[in-house]
Amino acid sequence: MPWTISDPSLSSPTTLESRSAGGAQLRQLEARVRQHLSSANAPSTRSTTLTALRKLARFADGAAKGRRLFLRPEVQGDISVASYNEWSMMLWAEDLLSRKSRKTGKLLAVSTVAAYVSLVKSELSAQFGFELIGTSERRLRRVLKAMRLAEPVRDRKKRRGLRGRHLRRAFKILEPVARTHGIATADERQKIAEWASVATAREAVARGSEVCPDGPHGPTRADIEFSDSSRHGRLVTLWLRPLKKRGREAAAKVPIIFAQHDGGGNDTYAALLRMERADPVPRDQRASTPLFRHADGRRMRLSHFRKVVRGVAAACGFDPKEFGTHSPRVGGGTDVGDESPLLLQAKGRWGGDLGKIYARLTQRGLVRASRAMQRRGAKDMEEIHAAFAQPA
């Protein structure tokens, strides 16, 4: 039986329309089963899988129009059917390689093409109920290998990390410090919030879009809590919602602890405390007030956060173009990386099979990470060698 793809949502290729009174209910059950089949894959790959399916649908309606993309084997392990389906995948891979990314305007990388092929192969095998290619896919692997060998070397864009010692240096120049007494001016409030956003992103190892998102659901003043521990001293906890999480994890906020240091540029506790004192918010308004905001109350967006990061870099004498919204995350990860892989994994909220956190985090561990990041001062290789860009 021939199989084609015309709809990336994959409205059941095997559904038989029921003419009985229970037909609608049966279709609902089938839709739920298909949803479970799809959601069984890693949640973080779901959006990429849907993108790949849309590209496959365009290929089926475009260059491959008139070709039956996939055949169903009459018996398990039918080599001829597996070879036919493998050939369709290779044709699609070649088509992908000639397409430009709508986001970057550049040709797709071979690694991206290989990821699309792998995800679609897994998705369709689950949806159709049989192995699309089977265990033998020598030609497909050979084609992808040849693509990698022929791919021109691309210049990797340099993205520098904004380290704790960089913040200390820039802090002495920019001096975003509010007056001890009296109400801070609008300009002072603005500078204090900007500095706090960068310091927080660095020590939280946070993405720029986690602390200063373009959407409406960013952190608020209610997400920070100051405390005084007899054992660890003064602390502030930030409840941060990670990005790139799906399902139940998407709604869960993660507590990140910052310990009081010496009030310098890399002291996140001091930065957040200055912001609280310069721009106090009534308790009943904290949940609706953005954590980092402009003097007029607007949420600080990602584009503005990028300007602030580059301004800090420029104050250090660096080329601002080499810094972006991920620079505090890169710098923070570098500062804490030598302390403990577990703490780096936790503070960066990274997932994946290799990064599963089985040991539970402790307050002492998080305070130790905070203090370790405050002490770090070694230069990274990108700062020592201007022409070097560290591979991913």
Q: Concatenated DSSP letters for 252-296?
A: --EEEEEE--SSSTT-HHHHHHHHHHHS---GGGGGGSBSSB-TT
Q: Is the pLDDT of residue 220 over 50?
A: yes
pLDDT category of residue 41 using cuts at 50, 70 and 90: low
End-to-end CA distance of the chain: 44
| Residues 48, 50, 56: CA angle, nearest 5 degrees | 105
Contacts of 99 (CB under 8 A, 6+ apart): 55, 107, 108
Output phi, psi for 317, to 5 deg.
90, 15
Q: pLDDT value at position 18?
A: 40
d(CA 107, CA 154): 11
Structure tokens at 383: 């700062």
For residues 158 and 15, the model is more confident at 158
Residue 3: band (very low, low, confident or very high) from pLDDT cuts 50, 70, 90: very low
Q: Kindly state the average pLDDT of the residues 269-280.
A: 93
pLDDT given for residue 252 in this prediction: 77
Could you tell me if 265 and 312 are in contact, meaning their C-beta atoms sit under 8 angstroms apart? no
359 pLDDT tier (thresholds 50, 70, 90):
very low
Average pLDDT over residues 290-298: 94
pLDDT at 335: 81
- Cα separation, 121 vs 49, in Å, equals 10
SS3 of 197-241: the string is: HHHHHHHCCCCHHHHCCCCCCCCEHHHEEEEEECCCEEEEEEEEC
Where is mean pLDDT largest: 110-124, 140-154, 209-223, 297-311?
A: 297-311
pLDDT score at 297? 92
Contact 214, 301 (CB under 8 A): yes
The arithmetic mean of pLDDT across residues 179-198, rounded, is 82
pLDDT(330) > 80: yes
Q: With 80 as the cut, is the pLDDT of residue 325 above it?
A: yes
Least Cα distance to 267 among 305, 242, 233 occurs for: 233
* DSSP strands (E only) in the chain: 2-3, 70-71, 224-229, 233-240, 254-259
User: What average pLDDT does this structure show over 35-43?
Assistant: 66
Q: What pLDDT shows up at residue 351?
A: 53
Confidence band (pLDDT; 50, 70, 90) for 337? Answer: low
Least confident span in 90-99, 323-332, 346-355: 346-355
- Mean local confidence (pLDDT), 119-137: 84
pLDDT in tens, 221-265: 999 999 998 888 999 999 988 876 555 555 678 888 899 999 999
pLDDT greater at residue 129 or residue 365: 129
Phi-psi region of 4 (alpha: psi -120 to 50; beta: other; left: phi over 0): beta
How much is the average pLDDT of 374-379?
Answer: 75
User: Can you give the pLDDT at residue 373?
Assistant: 77
Residue 385 burial (C-beta neighbours within 10 Å; 0-12, 13-18, 19+): exposed
Instruction: Residue 124: name the closest of 48, 49, 209 by CA.
Output: 49
Looking at residue 114, its pLDDT comes to: 93
Please state, for a pLDDT cut of 70, what percent of the chain lies above it. Answer: 78
Q: At 16, list the tokens.
A: 């038989």
C-alpha span between 25 and 336 (Å, rounded): 54
* pLDDT tens digit sequence for 27-36: 888 778 877 7
Task: Enter the DSSP assignment of 43.
Answer: G
Rounded CA gap, 132 and 105, in Å?
32
Largest CA distance in the chain: 82
Residue 130 gets which letter from DSSP?
S
Rounded-to-integer distance, Cα 327 and Cα 204, Å: 12
Give me 322's structure tokens.
Answer: 């080499």
Roughly what angle, to the nearest 10 degrees, separates helices 164-174 and 186-203? 170
Q: Residue 180's pLDDT band (boundaries 50, 70, 90)?
A: very low
pLDDT for 338: 58
Task: Report, as an integer, the average pLDDT of 179-185.
Answer: 61
Q: Which pLDDT score, from 0 to 100, does residue 390 have?
A: 65
Mapped onto helix, strand or coil, the DSSP state of residue 355 is helix
For the cut 90, the answer to whether the pLDDT of residue 38 exceeds it is no
- What the chain holds in terms of domains, given with CATH numbers, is 2-150 (no CATH), 164-384 (1.10.443.10)
Task: Identify the band that residue 156 occupies on the pLDDT scale cut at 50, 70 and 90.
Answer: low
Which 3 state secondary structure label does DSSP give 150? helix
Amino acid (1-letter code) at residue 290: P
